[in-house]
Amino acid sequence: MPPSVANPVLGQFPIEQWLIAIGVGVLFGAFGQLVRTIPGTYKRHQDGSEPFSAQVMLLSIVLGATAGALASLFLVAEINNIKGIGFSPLLGLMGAGYAGADFIEGFAGRWMRQGTPAAAPPAAPPAAPAAPAPAKPLPPTQPDESGAVG
């Protein structure tokens, strides 16, 4: 196997170190999201408010893994440290998976809503019935002998 050569586009780290960092980020990001989803799923199951959905849980874990992978791009040096990786970067990746999935869901939801048409505004209440037309004025009457009209 040829020795790793630094890629000027990727910086000082060879591609193998980037892939290792991303892989560690995926694993710990998914684990961080699992730490969040399992108690939430259990609570919703106990309340009976929402049935279990494997698809929703899998999507949540994938989003946590994605957030961990993105965070790992900033920790390449710490993850590939020859002396060994410390607990702090791993905990940071778990935190990224825990909280980053909410960020990605919110961002994607906002982006998806922009592409859909807005909901129609509520219909206006029906108009009040029109007032009846004014009655025709009565013809003037002639005064009687006393001079009163009517």
Task: Encode pLDDT of 56-103 as tens digits.
Answer: 889 889 999 999 999 888 888 888 776 777 788 888 888 888 888 777
In a domain, 97, yes or no: yes
Q: CA 130 → CA 52, 124, 126, 133, 134, distances in Å? A: 55, 17, 12, 9, 12
105 within domain boundaries: yes
Which is more confident, 129 or 150?
Answer: 129
CA–CA separation, 57 and 71 (whole Å)? 21
- The verdict on residue 3 lying in a domain is no
Q: Domains in the chain: how many in total?
A: 1
Range of the domain at 60: 15-115
Is position 133 within any domain?
no
In a domain, 24, yes or no: yes
Q: d(Cα 96, Cα 56) in Å, to the nearest integer? A: 19
Q: In this predicted structure, what is the pLDDT of residue 7?
A: 45
